[in-house]
Structure 1
Amino acid sequence: MHKAAHIITIFIVMVLLCTCNNNSSNKHPRLCPDLVEIVARDTLRIATMTGPTSYFYYRDQEVGYDYELAQELADYLQLTPQYILARTHSEMLHMLQNGQVDIIAYNLAPLRIDKGLKFWPIHEKSQLVLLQHKSAQPISSVQNVADTKIHVARNSIFEQHIKNLNEETGGQIRIVLTPDTMREEELVADVNSKKIDATVIYKNTYQLFRKKYHNITTSAPISVSIATGWVTNTEAEELNSAIERWLATLKSKHINALRRKYFVRTIVPHRPFSAKLVNGTISPYDNLFRKYAPEINWDWRLLAALCYHESRFNPNTTSPMGACGLMQLVPVTAKRYGLTDENCYDPEESIKAGVQYIKFLNDKYAAISQTENRINFILASYNAGPAHIFDAKALARKYGQDDKNWQHVKKYLLLKSEPEYYNDPVCKYGYYRGTAAVNYVEKVIETYHVYEQIIK
């Protein structure tokens, strides 16, 4: 029945297309495809950008607030989603206006929307606030912004608002425009490290970033609450009608859960490692580590060290991104290795699946002959997903470094948070803050060496 309905829809599409062609023979061809053409190609083309809340790779899977909602829209329309990653807001808008994509799924603000485009307030309203280092003199009101050097990305809503504020306060603000490819988190990191004095940020994303960057604080708001959201072409009337129907099906409880997942997610701070033996064991699962470690030719204590940093040996833990159990495999990877919602918290099933994934990663890096060096790549990939590691390897090759040497590749993994590198054509997976993976490798190895000393 469903297949027959789909065939009828395609037939209607083709009739409508022919009608449109006959009626518009004396007009310029329409650049902006509507739903009939989208259904005919069976693909919804979605423009977005990588970012900590919109779209990013977490281990082996694509995730993000905009990504998840765009997936749901594509499912509602019974279309295959195709994501086209842009480097700037302007690039996304250009692609939409030229018919290269059907929709922008990203938190754009209405101030950036040209005539002929329709705005969808998918995101929660939020104020813009000034972000400073904690040690700086707080800016208590917009009137006290004079002589403050504020860095904002060119062609962004932040530039527009700070320029408006500058006019209101007599032109005393020292505005520094960064390249439009520079992401919000990069400027936050620069404030955190005192490289720059201040920047502008959405208040709701500050709640997320302050858990990672401990030296930042906000001062005066510089705007009322602003809605941000997606964009389509006004001409795409049928697509817009379908989006309205889809939005009507969304429950506020579901939207709020997604917002908590991506904007208020808990980032567990690192706790100093302290090995505590109970009856001469590292964990209650030592026998399972001993059983499965030989399948990957690992010392069982190394497998235990990885598990410790994944779950602290808590088999019932679930991460904000849905990784579950002792070995914290994300849903797409867990499913690949036989885990289900029912058994992913079972210690043996989790360890068994984790070992199979490590075996897969070991094969990925089979060309690296030195075992300890290869283990570094495997650990980094377990933490970040192999996509970002392969980007770093490609960068290492481009710059004449050894892409089989972890010390060389690590350098470029750390550089993948800078526009010059994550926008490089050899990088396929965009922005990534590599410190998490690099620190993870070091901590797992450090814990393993402790286990070596206390358990013989």
Structure 2
Amino acid sequence: MSGIKYLKLIIPVIFMVLLQTCNQNRELVRLEVQDKPIVELKHVKLRGKLRVITDYNSTNYFVYKGHTMGFQYEMLKALAKHLGVKLELSVNNDLVSSFASLKRGDVDLLGMNLAVTADRMENFNFTIPHSQSAQVVIQRRPKKDSVGFIRNQFDLEGKRIYVPAGSSFQEQLSDLSSDMEHPIDIIAVDTVEMEELISKVANGEIDYTIADENVATVNSNYYPNIEFATTVSVPQNLAWALRKGANHLTQDINMWLIEFQKTREYRRIYQRYFESSRMEAMIQSEYFTVKSGKISDYDDLLKEKAKIIGWDWRLLSALISQESNFNPKAQSWVGAFGLMQLMPETAYRYDVDSLSSPEDNVDAGVRHLKYLKGKLDKTLVDKTDELMFLLASYNVGFGHVLDARRLAEKNGKNPDQWKGSVDYYLLNKSKPEFFNDPVVKYGYCRGAEPYQYVIKILDRYSHYQNIILDQSSS
């Protein structure tokens, strides 16, 4: 394809981006002058959460050594903090259904590496770019007598190339193919993630795919036999997508992005995932969940022990990650020890000590959880929030949770409700006006610890559910 023809394809897209930006800005001015309510932004804040779909891969969102990480994840966390709401993340690597969910209003934002194309702009709002990347051909490194190696865009002619359905890669190849004598054989694959196609290329199952260059760079650490020197596009703006007409929310995010990208925090996030040599070691680690599906060395043990209490093993993993970071030799300043950080008096009840094996430590911890659950079963009338009560009881003790229930009931709150009721009184049980109340039997406690403990474990568990398949029954 000639350079002139290629420019003919690119210039209309650039023009459309500028035109949409101008139109959105004029619309924002008009709405602000009329002082209309900021509906979509207000709804997000009233709801108290930003609902986002992202994709699960080696750069955007993943788990490493039990910790949730990723470029998109850290960016979206910073955005939610700016908005003053909770980040509610779900995973969908199918672009077609993700855009459909956004269009229906099931979510507020697609937090991914989305190329801004003319077709997409007709149906969705886009933020200013959060990063840039060219599109590149992924192929296996050539041998001396290699046939079919792609060195430039002209070599794409007649080749079979696999891409995710609904992706900008599919659109780019279609544009390039339209001027070729022998069209590119584009295979658009549903419900497939880009990195899965890269893996298939590396393993010889397919010959070619297209990816963003920054994603290819990261994956080359894991698949050293792939090559990605051939570009099929100029560097493209990668942005987030919102519903068409969500102009105030788009404008708010844009203003935040403009300032955030000037900060040291943004530079740190970008460098961590796209410029750091540590990513190579991380990707090759057995604890890199994208590739291994593994959280810790104790996955099999936790799958077995979680059955004692009827828990999902990923929930038990989230608790142990919070307690000890999967370190069986961990010991706290108050004397708690082992994977489940048992206090000596609790450990004695289950016939274990600091010299016991990790298996015995987990077994004792789970049996203690089961004991606490039995007490809660007899205490709570409405068991909807029992898990939160159980986690708090494991952290701070059943007696302090009972005190918080009594304080809630005394003050006209529901003692069976965790959020906005019992959690508030447990959080404040470090204050004299709370722990000196006549209904309190167990006195002072550092209530911020169990309050945050419950939030952190449930948040980590939600990420484990997003990312790690429950294979405990397989």
Instruction: Give the TM-score taking structure 1 as reference length.
Output: 0.54
Tell me the residue number matched to 2:182.
171
Match of 2:259 among 249, 255, 262: 249
Tell me the residue number matched to 1:266.
279
Deviation at 1:193, TM superposition (A): 0.9
Q: What is the rounded CA distance, in whole Å, between the counterparts of 2:339 and 2:210 in structure 1?
A: 44
Tell me the residue number matched to 2:141.
134
Deviation at 1:363, TM superposition (A): 6.8
Change (3 A) 1:214 1:355: same
Contact 2:161 2:185 in 1 (8 A): yes
1:96-131 deviation per Cα after TM superposition (whole angstroms, max 9, x unaligned): 222221122111111262425221244321111111
Q: What is the rounded CA distance, in whole Å, between the counterparts of 1:97 and 1:224 in structure 2?
A: 29
Match of 1:155 among 149, 154, 166: 166
Unaligned runs of 5+ in 2: 1-34, 286-296, 299-316, 342-357, 368-462
Deviation at 1:94, TM superposition (A): 1.8
Secondary structure of 1:139's partner? coil
Change (3 A) 1:171 1:235: same
Q: What is the rounded CA distance, in whole Å, between the counterparts of 1:389 and 1:233 in structure 2?
A: 29
Deviation at 1:171, TM superposition (A): 3.0
Structure 1 or 2, whichever has the larger Rg, is: 2
Deviation at 1:389, TM superposition (A): 6.5
Change (3 A) 1:238 1:88: same
Change (3 A) 1:207 1:218: same
Deviation at 1:51, TM superposition (A): 2.1
Secondary structure of 2:132's partner? coil
Q: What is the rounded CA distance, in whole Å, between the counterparts of 1:113 and 1:361 in structure 2?
A: 51
Q: What is the rounded CA distance, in whole Å, between the counterparts of 2:210 and 2:365 in structure 1?
A: 41
Change (3 A) 1:390 1:142: closer
Deviation at 1:184, TM superposition (A): 0.7
Q: How does 1:301-340 map to 2 (within 5 A)?
A: 336-337=323-324
Tell me the residue number matched to 1:109.
115
Match of 1:47 among 50, 53, 61: 53
1:329-362 deviation per Cα after TM superposition (whole angstroms, max 9, x unaligned): x9996664499xxxx9x99779x87644756765
The alignment status of 1:214 with 2:293, answered yes or no, reads no
Contact 1:131 1:200 in 2 (8 A): yes
The alignment status of 1:184 with 2:190, answered yes or no, reads no
One-letter code aligned to 1:124? S
Q: What is the rounded CA distance, in whole Å, between the counterparts of 2:284 and 2:108 in structure 1?
A: 42
Contact 2:52 2:110 in 1 (8 A): yes
Change (3 A) 1:209 1:175: same
Q: 100-109 or 245-254, which moves further after superposition?
A: 245-254
Q: What is the rounded CA distance, in whole Å, between the counterparts of 1:363 and 1:169 in structure 2?
A: 68
Change (3 A) 1:333 1:243: farther
Change (3 A) 1:171 1:37: same
Match of 2:471 among 392, 402, 427: 392
Q: How does 1:280-319 map to 2 (within 5 A)?
A: none
Change (3 A) 1:364 1:386: farther
Secondary structure of 1:195's partner? coil
Contact 1:59 1:385 in 2 (8 A): no
Q: How does 1:13-92 map to 2 (within 5 A)?
A: 34-92=40-98
Deviation at 1:157, TM superposition (A): 1.0
Contact 1:117 1:233 in 2 (8 A): yes
Secondary structure of 1:113's partner? helix
Q: What is the rounded CA distance, in whole Å, between the counterparts of 1:86 and 1:44 in structure 2?
A: 16
Q: What is the rounded CA distance, in whole Å, between the counterparts of 1:354 and 1:260 in structure 2?
A: 35
Deviation at 1:217, TM superposition (A): 0.7
Q: What is the rounded CA distance, in whole Å, between the counterparts of 1:390 and 1:363 in structure 2?
A: 26
Change (3 A) 1:33 1:91: farther
Q: What is the rounded CA distance, in whole Å, between the counterparts of 1:338 and 1:141 in structure 2?
A: 48
Q: What is the rounded CA distance, in whole Å, between the counterparts of 1:245 and 1:45 in structure 2?
A: 19
Secondary structure of 2:178's partner? helix
One-letter code aligned to 1:92? S
Change (3 A) 1:69 1:176: same
Secondary structure of 1:52's partner? coil
**Matched positions, count:** 289
Secondary structure of 2:470's partner? helix
Q: What is the rounded CA distance, in whole Å, between the counterparts of 1:244 and 1:270 in structure 2?
A: 36
Secondary structure of 1:125's partner? strand
One-letter code aligned to 1:159? Q
Q: What is the rounded CA distance, in whole Å, between the counterparts of 2:49 and 2:267 in structure 1?
A: 28
1:388-430 deviation per Cα after TM superposition (whole angstroms, max 9, x unaligned): 666122xxxxxxxxx3xxxxx4xxxxxxxxxxxxxxxxxxxxx
One-letter code aligned to 1:188? I
Change (3 A) 1:215 1:57: same
Q: How does 1:347-362 map to 2 (within 5 A)?
A: 355-356=339-340
Tell me the residue number matched to 1:400.
none
Contact 1:104 1:230 in 2 (8 A): yes
Change (3 A) 1:211 1:183: same
Q: What is the rounded CA distance, in whole Å, between the counterparts of 1:385 and 1:50 in structure 2?
A: 11
Q: What is the rounded CA distance, in whole Å, between the counterparts of 2:69 and 2:320 in structure 1?
A: 13
